[in-house]
Amino acid sequence: MNHHLRGPQLPPSRGPLSAAVTGYLGGTGPLPRPAAAEDADPYGDDLQLALYLCYELHYRGFAGVGPDREWDPELLRVRGALERRFLTALRADTPVHDSLDDALGALLVEPVEGTGVSHFLRDEGELWHLREYAALRSLYHLKEADPHAWVLPRLWGRAKAAMAAVEFDEFGGGRAERVHARLFADLMTDLDLDPAYGRYLDAAPAPMLAVVNLMSLFGLHRELRGALVGHFAEVEITSSPGSRRLAEAMRRTGAGPAAEFFYDEHVEADAVHEQVVRHDVIGGLLEEEPELAGDIAFGIDATEYLEDRLARRLLSDWRAGRSSLRTALSGEMAHTS
């Protein structure tokens, strides 16, 4: 069986870097020079898509791209240059808290008058907004727990046990139909979206790609294990209240039972996960490696920084009455400006 024929199709390129990587994966051209990444916009479409293409080889790959490309030395050299450009920019641009306690404390504070994406969708969102949001977040939620699992071999003791316990829930507690990625695919079906893995890659703007790439960047590097735990903490600690608002948005717009259930499930599950992550995953890791406190804080704050960039993009487009997507959704509910 030709397993390399599975997976999503390679997407159209968005500039010279992504064009060269796409061409190389498709067997039609050479890779870009690693030095070419130095002048690229670290948050722009071209670099982020090129990096996404490299990372995706560690997940499900692309149709027609052989599995040997995953560890292609020349491709890894280019990926390293892309990563350095992205990570250097993140370290320079991310407002980092003075201490891990401060970073965690900020996550526990819910603003009285929230203005984020979940607030907009709960209070003003129409069905087309929810469809766009789900299409974009599918790049994240259809692989959400996977990069976090890469940290397990890099932990031990209490941190490993607690992390495995939370991941077990994310993967459905042993039940395939309850895997959270499966539940999100069901949500997409309710919203008349195609739940195929990677289906909306071409529709996603650079800020969404950056959010997804951050998980892979942290997950694939052992030296960034603290940052990955910080990313995980930010996701789990902030999930419950945001999920409650999104569940309300799904109910208000009549999105469907599976759409409601995905977020209802996260309200309860992530309220428990938040306690486990703070006390046992982070607490256990710091018992063994207290020097990683700064890395954990960076992971929290870098995640927040990129999520804020994405939120600004979505809210700017939606409040102007226009789509946030690069390509239009199919179906009767697709929005046209």
Task: Transcribe 183-227 into DSSP letters.
Answer: HHHHHHHHTT---STTTTTTT--HHHHHHHHHHHHHHT-GGGHHH
Query: 53 and 22 in contact (C-beta within 8 Å)?
Result: yes
pLDDT at 335 over 60: no
204 — pLDDT class (breaks 50, 70, 90): very high
pLDDT tens for each residue of 62-93: 999 999 999 999 999 999 999 999 999 999 99
pLDDT tens for each residue of 143-165: 989 999 999 999 999 999 999 99
270 — pLDDT class (breaks 50, 70, 90): low
pLDDT tens for each residue of 121-150: 999 999 999 999 999 999 999 998 999 999
Residue 77 pLDDT: 98
Please tell me the distance from the alpha carbon of residue 217 to that of residue 229, in angstroms, as a whole number: 12
- Of 306, 143, 152, 165, nearest to 225 (Cα)? 152
Q: How far is CA 225 from CA 84, 257, 269, in A?
A: 16, 37, 24
What value does the mean pLDDT take over residues 46-60? 98
Please tell me the distance from the alpha carbon of residue 329 to that of residue 134, in angstroms, as a whole number: 11
Query: Percent of the chain scored above 90 by pLDDT?
Result: 87
What value does the mean pLDDT take over residues 219-226? 98
pLDDT tens for each residue of 97-110: 999 999 999 998 87
Query: 211 and 231 in contact (C-beta within 8 Å)?
Result: no
- Cβ within 8 Å of residue 195, ≥6 positions away: 138, 142, 184, 185, 186, 188, 189
Residue 114 pLDDT: 81
266 — pLDDT class (breaks 50, 70, 90): confident
Residue 112 pLDDT: 67
- Cβ within 8 Å of residue 87, ≥6 positions away: 217
- Cβ within 8 Å of residue 178, ≥6 positions away: 172
6 — pLDDT class (breaks 50, 70, 90): confident
Range from 176-190, 227-241, 321-335 carrying the lowest mean pLDDT: 321-335
pLDDT tens for each residue of 9-48: 999 999 999 999 999 999 999 999 999 999 999 999 999 9
